[in-house]
Amino acid sequence: MTGTHPPLRVALDGTPLLLPRTGIGEVVAGLVGALAPRDDVRISAFAVTWRGRATLAAQLPAGSRAATALIPARFVRRMWLRTDHPTVERWTGAVDVVHATNFVPPPARVPVIVTVHDLGFARFPELCAADAHQYPTLIRRGLARGALVHATSDYVADEVRAEFGLPEERVVRVYSGVPRASGGDAAEGRRVAGAERYVVAFGTAEPRKNYPVLVAAFDAVAASDPDLALVIAGGDGWGTDALAAALDRAAHRDRVHRLGYVTDAERRDLLAGAQVLCYPSKYEGFGFPPLEAMAACVPVVTSRAGALPEVTAGAALLVDPDDVDGLAAALTRVLGDDELRRDLVERGHARVRDFTWEDTADGMMALYRRAVGVQ
């Protein structure tokens, strides 16, 4: 904003900031970190949770604050599915605009922006956790109240317009920046991985991360590459049983190392020591890990699904997410072809420069201003 207007008071859903963080948590952390130092906005964060009520303030950067109270999630979700009460200002206090960062636009007396990260709940409901099945109703209610949509990619923006019958101007794409990914210690990464040469994969064990296909493809590659390991870093989720079954079938399961949730520093170290990042997701609305790998100068093999082709833009090898043989062949190519590796690293390093948190903050501020009618 300019000096003719006071700073915008933005209440932002900070629930994804609570640990353990997923990709959405990284989006919110990067956005808040870029907005907090600005003089044209005042950021407060609310949390739709009861269990995490004591930890939100510790996750916020200087220049932002926790809202006046925390929200009992089960109670308000039940209410918001049926009514437009209570409004979120009951917990946030007076604000100018509300940014629902995680699919759930609350009733409010001020304009609301809702971020839709993907349409997995509509396209692949069988791959989603139970609470995601409420998103269509909650989003439609928010849209009926006039909410604007922030989409994380052009792919998602087009999906949202089609799914909810929205005109072009109701949906605005603003890309995310990329979490810090470079500067890791390769030797420490190899120690954490428990291997000298490894393929790394990041993400919670959930169905759309497609780990059973990854394990099968690695098993095929490992048969002719006796020093190679697969490292899967991510907590247990509703795909853990399928991953365990895939490991039971694998001939080289002893070279598949599951690390569970890792810290940011461990993540950077694992990238620094990796031969390749593999991200064979069945569907993504954006996808941080490929860009993090590009920032760390690690070649990427990912899937031709969702927004991944848009985000990687020719800087990764793309495969069909259901093609075990194709994924194995792509991994074999990257592991064995030094020229290809150099080309992918160079392309990736150039591509990742297109995603900065400063650009994200500028884009979101433009959307906040539009919502409240201020230029």
Residues 221 and 166 in one domain: no
- Identify the domain containing residue 197 by its residue range: 186-352
What's the mean per-residue pLDDT of the chain? 94
The whole-number average pLDDT for the span 203-224 is: 96
Q: 348 lies in a domain?
A: yes
Dist CA 18 CA 1 (whole Å) = 30
In this prediction, residue 131 carries a pLDDT of 83
Based on the fold, state whether residues 131 and 201 are members of the same structural domain: no
Predicted local confidence at residue 257, as pLDDT: 98
Lowest mean pLDDT among 122-131, 137-146, 220-229, 241-250: 122-131
62 lies in some domain = yes
d(CA 101, CA 15): 9
Q: For residue 2, what pLDDT is reported?
A: 45
Are 332 and 190 part of one and the same domain? yes
Residue 99 clears pLDDT 80, i.e. is over it: yes
Asked whether residue 75 falls in the same domain as residue 171, the answer is yes
CA triple 41-42-46, angle to 5 deg: 130
Question: Which pLDDT does position 23 carry in this prediction?
Answer: 85
Q: Which pLDDT score is estimated for 70?
A: 66
42 token code pair:
């005042």
Same domain, 125 and 45: yes
**What is the rounded end-to-end Cα distance, in angstroms, of the chain?**
8
- The whole-model pTM stands at 0.93
Better pLDDT: 76 or 298: 298
Q: Highest mean pLDDT: which of 127-131, 172-176, 371-375? A: 172-176
Q: What backbone phi and psi angles, to 5 degrees, belong to 107?
A: -60, 140
Q: How confident is the model at residue 156 (pLDDT cuts 50, 70, 90)?
A: very high
On whether residue 165 sits in a domain, the answer given is: yes
- Of 194, 210, 212, 280, the C-alpha closest to 250 is 212
Does 30 share its domain with 160? yes
- Count other C-beta atoms under 10 Å from residue 200's C-beta: 27
Note whether 112 and 89 are within 8 A (CB): no
Q: What is the DSSP string of 324-371?
A: HHHHHHHHHHHHH-HHHHHHHHHHHHHHHTT--HHHHHHHHHHHHHHH
Mean pLDDT on 129-144: 92
Give pLDDT, residue 77.
87
Same domain, 298 and 281: yes
Q: How large is the C-alpha radius of gyration of the chain?
A: 21
| Residue in 316, 322, 320, 361 with CA at minimum distance from that of residue 341 | 316
Q: Is the pLDDT of residue 68 over 80?
A: no
Any domain includes 190: yes
The count of structural domains within the chain is: 2
Q: Do 271 and 144 fall into the same domain?
A: no
Verify that 269 and 299 share a domain, yes or no. yes
Which CATH number does the domain housing residue 262 bear? 3.40.50.2000
Q: What is the pLDDT of residues 281-326, one digit of tens each?
A: 999 999 999 999 999 999 999 999 999 999 999 999 999 999 999 9
If asked whether residues 237 and 161 sit together in one domain, one would say no
Residue 1 has pLDDT above 80, yes or no: no
Residues 15 and 124 in one domain: yes
Residue 236: CB atoms within 10 Å = 15
Q: Is the pLDDT of residue 3 over 60?
A: no
Q: Is 137 inside a domain boundary?
A: yes
Q: Is 123 inside a domain boundary?
A: yes
Is 347 found in the same domain as 243?
A: yes
Residue 2 in any domain: the answer is no
DSSP 375: -
